[in-house]
Amino acid sequence: MRRLLAVCVALSALASTGRAIGGERVTLGSKAFPESWILGEALAIVARSSGAESEHRANLGGTEIVHAALRAGSIDAYPEYTGTLRDVILHAHDASTEEVRERLASVGLGVTESLGFDDSYAIAVNRAVARRDALRSLSNLAAHPDLRAAFSHEFLGREDGWPGVRARYGLALSDVRGVGHALAFEALIANRADLTDVYTTDPEIVRQDLVVLEDDRGFFPRYDAVVIYRLDLEERAPGVLKAWRRIIGRVDRAAMARANAAVALDHRSVSDTAAGLVQDALGGAQLVPDVDPQRARVASIARDLLRHVQLVAVALAASVLAGVPLGIAASRRVRVAVLVIGGSGVIQTIPSLALLAFLIPVVGIGVLPATIALFLYALLPIVQGTCSGITGIPAPLAASAEALGLTPFAKLARIELPLALPSILAGVRTSGVIAVGTATIAALVGAGGLGDPILEGIALRDTTLILTGAVPCAMLALAVQGSFALLERVVVPRGLRVRTHAE
């Protein structure tokens, strides 16, 4: 503890002097798993030690999102793996290190040497299953086509993942499912699956007592950990790059696995663990400080909730402002209705991750893409509610309104909108409840909200942490539902609610 304090004091002293001199500023990103958070945080700490201001936007989602954020300039650097660079980003499996460097440079990106360890793919099985079927290597799998595999979606989709393994080893497993990486371990523990993909620094290998199958035909490429960064940092933050070079090559596999276990299994905070990793790499003693992560988390629930409400409120308000006029337009002409309702329906079917991946190159990461995505998802119920509210006005009423000789605006404002109000409000309420649930995706693009504890909890397999986000989220949905019921009582004209018939 005292040692951590010393490091912090030393670093902040460096930082305060450095800031006065350099004025450099970098933003780190990281993917949605602990190792990436720890490395991202470690790079931020090292940058700060050089006197720069640094920010770490952790837990941004998968490779596509983090890399798009880097290309868009929303972040300046993030920890990456050489295998991913070749296969996912450059689609050049056999590219040499020089070619990788050249191709990245052509889009303004640079890459460091290995941080000092590799985190390659491997396939692991339950020890009991390994013993039963005498499994030691991937070749052994060929004789057991009935084994059940639960692979992460990324592993299933990547050329250097399952498709490649299957082809190289001639495997034909009958039961292969795609699940979230963290959930795959749950499936193995519950004996619902026999195999999953792991990383070689995965702390779960130790915790779940898994057997890593030997890659006897040398299929998996090495996933050396590197830092990928925007080349303009050489101009903007040469001090930061210089500081990073001090830990390049000095983080070993054992230290990384320990750090992963500290965060994922012992629930240590990422920043303390990263500080320990940095100190370790720079030659200090190993250091795992004890802090109470719960206390920090409780304090941040309020912040996450507030951000969540803010995201939903802004997106919903924008959806009402755009959706009601669109609904009115759709109620006027069938062709417009087909276009508008069909269009917002199509948006509804785009998976949120895909939508965010489209948005990041245009608007970067953070609150803006999250709000735009929520806005788009909220449109359909509002447009539909408005359109069907107006077109659902009974024919004699519509004829009477027309026959009175009201101006089009008066007819809309005095007759159509008040009569359609219950239907419009029902649409807004539906959108609101959906938006509260959907806003958890904001965490994928670093916009915060209640998705933060949920995503972290899933990655750490920490149910308490998941509930920390999920429970307030559910209560918020109920609150939205309830407040719209109240709002309806206040704003819907009494004549549409009174049901007493005085004959």
90 vs 398 by CB, closer to another protein: 398
- Is-contact 169 219, C-beta < 8 A? yes
Helices (H), 350-406: 352-363, 367-391, 395-403
Buried b vs exposed e over 404-428: b needs ≥16 C-beta within 10 Å? eeeeeeebbeebbbbbbbbbbbbbb
Per rule CB under 8 A, is residue 396 in the interface with another protein?
A: yes
CB of 410 to another protein, least distance (A): 5
Token pair recorded at residue 393: 């006005």
CB of 331 to another protein, least distance (A): 17
CA distances from 480 to 333, 341, 442, 477 (A): 32, 24, 19, 5
168 vs 414 by CB, closer to another protein: 414
Chain residues 88-147 in contact with another protein, contact rule CB under 8 A:
none
- Is-contact 365 59, C-beta < 8 A? no
Per rule CB under 8 A, is residue 240 in the interface with another protein?
A: no
Token pair recorded at residue 335: 């062709």
Residue from 399, 442, 449, 475 that binds another protein (CB under 8 A)? Answer: 399
Per rule CB under 8 A, is residue 496 in the interface with another protein?
A: yes
Closest CA to 207 of 34, 79, 42: 34
Per rule CB under 8 A, is residue 235 in the interface with another protein?
A: no
- Is-contact 271 3, C-beta < 8 A? no
CB of 422 to another protein, least distance (A): 10
Binding range to another protein, per CB under 8 A, among 40-48, 318-326, 398-406, 433-441: 398-406
**CA 476 to CA 131: how far, in whole Å?**
49
Token pair recorded at residue 40: 């991202």
415 vs 455 by CB, closer to another protein: 415
Per rule CB under 8 A, is residue 501 in the interface with another protein?
A: yes
338 vs 404 by CB, closer to another protein: 404
Per rule CB under 8 A, is residue 490 in the interface with another protein?
A: no
Instruction: Quickly count helices (H) and strands (E) in the chain.
Output: 23, 10
- Is-contact 150 177, C-beta < 8 A? yes
Residue from 402, 487, 489, 491 that binds another protein (CB under 8 A)? Answer: 402
Residue from 6, 317, 397, 485 that binds another protein (CB under 8 A)? Answer: 397
CB of 396 to another protein, least distance (A): 4
Per rule CB under 8 A, is residue 498 in the interface with another protein?
A: yes
Per rule CB under 8 A, is residue 295 in the interface with another protein?
A: no
State which H helix or E strand residue 480 sits in: helix 463-491
For the window 403-432, what string marks contact with another protein as x by the rule CB under 8 A?
xxxxx--x---xx--xx-x-----------
Residue from 184, 233, 401, 480 that binds another protein (CB under 8 A)? Answer: 401
- What SS3 state is found at 38? helix
Per rule CB under 8 A, is residue 491 in the interface with another protein?
A: no
- What SS3 state is found at 56? strand
Residue from 17, 400, 464, 483 that binds another protein (CB under 8 A)? Answer: 400
- Is-contact 446 29, C-beta < 8 A? yes
CB of 407 to another protein, least distance (A): 7
Per rule CB under 8 A, is residue 390 in the interface with another protein?
A: no
**CA 92 to CA 95: how far, in whole Å?**
5
- Is-contact 146 176, C-beta < 8 A? no
130 vs 424 by CB, closer to another protein: 424
Per rule CB under 8 A, is residue 334 in the interface with another protein?
A: no
Contact footprint for another protein (CB under 8 A): 396-397, 399-407, 410, 414-415, 418-419, 421, 493-496, 498-503
